[in-house]
Amino acid sequence: MIAPVEKKDAWAYIGGLPLTRATLTDPAPMLHLKSTSSQRWLDQVHENIVEILIDHAHCEKKAAGTAMNFIFYYVEDEDLCREMSEIVNEELEHFHMVLDILRQRGEKFRRLKPSSYGSRLHQLIRKQEPERAVDRLLVAGLIEARSCERFGLLGEKLEDKELAQFFGSLFESEARHHATYVQLAKNYANEETVMQRLEELAIQEAEIIALGDEFPRVHS
Ligand SMILES: [Fe+2]
Ligand SMILES: [Fe+2]
């Protein structure tokens, strides 16, 4: 649990929880994550920053696609459609930002084999509605959470100050996306059921991310 903070000490409120410097040091509880990222992953990043940036561009593009798919699939949930259209816009903005960074560094955006993280997480989604909606939204929320946790870490640890600043600047919006997905899952099940399922999926997410990946990726 995060200790209560004075309103003046918080920069922003994400899903009712304050975002502060303390949150940045260990954002996992606010993000419902069951682990923090390993030194193994940080080492992969340090040795392969260009490949990480290219994969990051793919991740932002995929995040926009995921939000767009929700609009197509849950047409009658106006609440969801409005929130998702905001997320589509923000993720595409992030996608452009990464493309700009690649261009400034003389690197080209190109196809990359994705990490197995996303497909492993999607295998956990139950097939029947409304459980399927709950799981799809919570899996999307956990992917946002893990990205957010890792961007926060890169904001702190990268020696390249320009990149550190860039990753740090994404922390707030990805944390907000996480909170939005969790909130929307409550349109498909009661709060207790959603939070219990989130707990189960978060445990499995921590096991999946711990598996790593031979290629350096945002979620390797
Ligand atoms: Fe993003
Ligand atoms: Fe996001």
- State the pLDDT at residue 80: 98
Ligand 1 center from residue 98 Cα (angstroms): 10
pLDDT mean values, one per 10 residues, the chain (220 residues): 43 54 67 94 95 98 98 97 98 98 97 96 97 98 97 94 95 95 98 98 97 94
Using the CB atoms, write b or e for 167-205: b if 16+ within 10 Å: bbebbbbbbbbbbbbbbbbeebbeeeebeebbeebbebb
CA of 56 to the centre of ligand 1 (A): 9
Note if the pTM is more than 0.85. Answer: yes
- Nearest ligand to the CA atom of 83: 2
State the distance from the centre of ligand 2 to the C-alpha of 121, rounded, in angstroms.
16
Q: Report pLDDT for 20.
A: 56
Structural domains in the chain, sorted by start: 37-211 (1.20.1260.10)
Instruction: Please list the alpha-helical segments (H only) found in the chain.
Output: 21-25, 39-47, 49-73, 78-104, 117-122, 131-157, 161-185, 191-211
pLDDT of residue 30: 85
Question: How many other β-carbons are positioned within 10 Å of the β-carbon of residue 8?
Answer: 5
Closest by Cα among 157, 147, 175, 210 to 23: 175
Taking the centre of ligand 1 as the mean of its atom positions, its distance from the CA of residue 82, in whole angstroms, is: 17
Query: How buried is 150 (Cβ within 10 angstroms: 0-12 exposed, 13-18 middle, 19+ buried)?
Result: buried
Task: Write the single-letter amino acid at 84.
Answer: M
Q: What is the structure's pLDDT at 2?
A: 38
Q: How far is the CA of 199 from the centre of ligand 2 (A)?
A: 20
